[in-house]
A and B are shown apart, each in its own frame.
Chain A
Amino acid sequence: MTKDEVKQVVLDIIADIAPDEDLSNLKPDVRLRDQMQLDSMDFLDIVMELRKRHGIEVPEADYLQLATLDSCGEYLTPKFNALASKG
């Protein structure tokens, strides 16, 4: 998967957990929590949906890696590709 595809995966999850938000203008390099109403429980939703939908595990120590869409792409793309190569 490309980084852009991974970012779209994260965006799809965010669209489900924050259904009242307009995501069309999210800036990829700005912290998600600074651009939209996203509390710690919502953040855990992202982690849970990555696990449920894609089998991706994000250890608590790495949560900061999911701060922005760009950092999500950087951090998650190798995980998605490692999973695909196992697959």
Chain B
Amino acid sequence: MSLSRIVITGVGLTAPNGNSLAEFRGNLLAGVAKISRIDVRYMGQLLAGVCTYDPLRYQKKKELRVGTRAGSIGIYCAREALADAGLTADQLARDRTGIFVGITEHGNVETENEIYAISKFGYDTKFWSHYHNPRTVANNPAGEISLNLGTTGPAYTIGAACAAGNLGLIHATQMLRLGEVDFALCGGVSESIHTFGIYAGFKSQNALAHHEDPNRASRPFDKARNGIVISEGGALYTLERLESAIQRGAKIYAEIAGYCVNSDASDYVLPNPGRQAECVRTAVARAGMQPRDIHIINTHATATPMGDIQECEAIRSVFGEGCPDTSINNTKSFIGHAMGAAGALELAGNLPSFTDRVVHPTINVDDLDPLCALPGLILNRPKSVDRVDTILNNSFGMLGINSTLIVKRFVS
């Protein structure tokens, strides 16, 4: 079966250290992390990656009052991606545009807020908001984007734990190839820093990072890593079939080369390096490549003691020692773990490597864990390389969901 070629033609994002691809990339190359301390309900001051985009740029005050933070992040990213693609919402074929947004979870924030609100009224549920259901339905972030843009094609979320950002792009690719849509906005978003439950859950798991200096707290592969920094954020892409992108003279960032999604079927939270390796290997094979053809691997590593080692084991088993042109990095060391947005944001941070031929590093590695000492790991400083033709992006999540997405430099 001959599959349509799918290309990325626009990127819109908000990350703790940047509200555009240019700002984000600049900080990744300059070693600028941005982690803050915020008040988390019932728990006090904790570390978080906080986004500083202007929500009023694309939303009215009333939309912000009624909607969710995830919806707002999604709207900002979608509008920015469209602008980057050289399009306005009015130019879209409304019923042929799909919106596919990866989420780790949705509804925790809004439910916690309502329970807190009625606690002030003796837990009398007559004070429970009539907005609770539209705010907490799982399709909320995608639905808010469709309302804001006025698109009438399919718009829904893809729940895939922390693999969700990749899943947004993968699903959009499939929908474009099926001919279900002609244009897609896709990626992932997260509002997770606004729920105490996720903090408390990671804390109970002993998986929440702590460090005197917030910007040094997220430290994948370092011996002193002690867990995850939770972040909010989003990255959405415009995806099109190649012929439509060429027809309208679009700028092309990259072409989707291959992907794989599989399941560990082994544990609720513990990763499975064997299944991760299968996921990576299958994606490489589907891209028609060999491991040595991959020039950048962006790892999922979240800085948990075991998780990093297991991903390194998976990568080692696929790439071994025979891939001299393969560089390996990590983006969470700068921005923390943006949950449902992680995969999409981390891919975005690497896309400019196709043109500037620089690989951004993973920072905060003072003492490399020997069990994470992969050949090609780019530590603390960016590295210039001869060429970057391919980027492999890993994103894994709880309940054993693994995703690998490979994009390649566009060559007509």
Contacts and interface: CB of A to CB of B under 8 A. Distances in A.
A18 interface: yes
Contact of A19 (B62, B126, B131): B62
Contact of B126 (A18, A45, A51): A51
A41 B147 CA distance: 16
Q: Considering the complex of A and B, which 5 residue pairs feature the smallest CB-CB distances, nearest first?
A: A19-B61, A20-B60, A44-B130, A20-B61, A20-B62
Contacts of A41: 66, 130-131
A36 B11 CA distance: 36
Contacts of B130: 41, 44-45, 48
A19 B66 CA distance: 11
Interface string A39-75: 0010011001001100000000000000000000000
B127 A48 contact: yes
B127 A51 contact: yes
8 contacts: A17-B62, A19-B65, A44-B130, A45-B130, A48-B130, A51-B126, A51-B127, A52-B127
Given A19-B61, A19-B65, A52-B121, 12 more contacts: A17-B62, A19-B62, A20-B61, A20-B62, A37-B62, A41-B66, A45-B130, A48-B127, A48-B130, A51-B126, A51-B127, A52-B127
- Give the interface SS of chain A, mostly helix, strand, loop or mixed: helix
B401 to A, nearest CB: 35
B136 interface: no
Nearest to B66: A41
Q: How large is the interface on A (under 10, 10 to 19, 20 to 34, 35 or more residues)?
A: 10 to 19
Contacts of A44: 130
Interface string B93-122: 000000000000000000000000000010
Nearest to A21: B62
A26 B89 CA distance: 32
Contacts of A48: 127, 129-130
A74 B65 CA distance: 29
A20 B61 CA distance: 6
Contacts of A51: 126-127
A17 B66 CA distance: 9
Contacts of A45: 130
A66 to B, nearest CB: 15
Contact of A17 (B60, B65, B121, B126): B65
Contacts of B121: 52
A51 B121 CA distance: 11
Nearest to A18: B62
A37 B66 CA distance: 14
Nearest to A20: B60
Interface in B60-90: 60-62, 65-66
A80 to B, nearest CB: 19
Contacts of B60: 19-20
Interface string B128-162: 01110000000000000000000000000000000
Nearest to B117: A52
B120 to A, nearest CB: 9
B305 to A, nearest CB: 46
A51 B127 CA distance: 8
A63 B130 CA distance: 16
Contacts of B127: 48, 51-52
A48 B65 CA distance: 15
B281 to A, nearest CB: 50
Nearest to B62: A20
Contacts of B129: 48
Interface in A17-34: 17-20
